[in-house]
Structure 1
Amino acid sequence: MPFDGFLDDAMRTQDAPAGHADARGHADALVHDLNNLLAVILNANEALAATLPEGSLGRELAGLSQDAAAKAGALLQRLLDATPAHAAAEPADCGAAVAETARLVRARLPAAVAIEVRGADLALQSAVDAVELDSALLNLCINAGHAMPDGGALTLSLAEADLRPPALNDLGLAAGRYAVIAVADTGVGMSPQVLARATEARFTTRAGRGGNGLGLASAKAFAEAAGGRLLLKSQQGCGTTATLFLPLA
């Protein structure tokens, strides 16, 4: 079973009704087994990195693989523990999340996609789970990459906004200060019909090509659980901008 299908199965059964003990047990077993495989990847990459010269491309790539596997392990542990996505032990550093996502996504997207980062040096913290924030940003960036099969530009930016009326009328957010993280691409864009359904769970225009329709839906759920919002703007032929509004801690 491919990695995404394996995890997808675990997520579906983890959400089963409380009475379905067999389904939950199946989910726990899947997550446990996948965690074991990730541990092998982590250990192998750690050993590989130790054999490579400091500063070499190979060592950098091994480090990226280690970091990605560690994040995957943290997400899987959350599935196993059934921990709420918004239960953050300490505020997440939004600038660090933007910088780390850009670092990881460079290895994930084609070389023909140019990546620009803005505002990663801003000291903005939000009371969200750092692992969930990383996951949401990675999903948004991967979606952006899929929209640019022939290359293009991806801009990942962080800013601060002090939202007061009348801006709140459009956003539906409580007044206050927010971290605003935008992922903009120059890809194919979405039609109004597709845009209207883009955040529906399991809605995808990439059926049969690795799409499962969970990326935007999970990013939206993450933002709203934190008292924020995911805003999508898109035009066919002109690209898409996905913007996360997250309340500052």
Structure 2
Amino acid sequence: MQSLWTRSYFVSTAKNVANENMLKIKKQGVKRMSQTLTVKVKLIPTKEQSRLLEESSREYIKVMNMLVSEMVEAKKSTKKSTKDIEANIPSAVKNQAIKDAKSLFATKVKKSNYKIIPILKKPVCVWNNQNYSFDSTHISIPFKVNGKSTRLKVRALLINKKNRNLDLLKHKLGTLRITKKSNKWMAQISVTLPTNERAGTKVLGVDLGLKVPAVAITDDDKVRFFGTCLNWINGN
């Protein structure tokens, strides 16, 4: 059976632990965090725009696969620039393909000790956040048309319930990735949102010198008794 002195000691110790932790939390305050989401938007391109998307996607994965293959053979990252790449896509898209190929080589090929050699097959094309824009009905992106980089507006279903997509797209934008699935074109826009990670306001003080804690107390002075100590408090 626990004595009154033992109970008082545990309560006092738990309070001290709680107070120390609360001081630490107040000093730490709020941590700035962020999370990245993908906003998916259905595209409704014209026949000509659909043809350009098909062509751009084929060119993009062709450049990616070619660069990865060259890096695997050389066993080092490529030093090629957009001037060294022959492809019917704008320079900005070539640059993104080079960047993505380097990343694929570093994260997949080298890390697997050259046991994994990825080959892209599904149509995809990527634009960085400096090379696309949008309004409530269209996404504007550059294509290579008659040998020149030309911006075209592709119809996009950006408005959804409660305008959630447009609200998300007000935050920091990342790459625009366009893919084709089930004969439908989809835009995937990367968005980074700021979030706050707050330290917990409830602190639990526990005497760690015991296998089973006899008493615990939170920062708002709520006490919890365990085992025989609980029985003693209840008068059992």
**TM-score normalised according to structure 1 size:** 0.23
Higher helix share: 1
Larger RCO of the pair (alpha carbons < 8 Å, separation 6+): 2
Higher strand share: 2
**TM-score normalised according to structure 2 size:** 0.24
Larger gyration radius, structure 1 or structure 2: 2
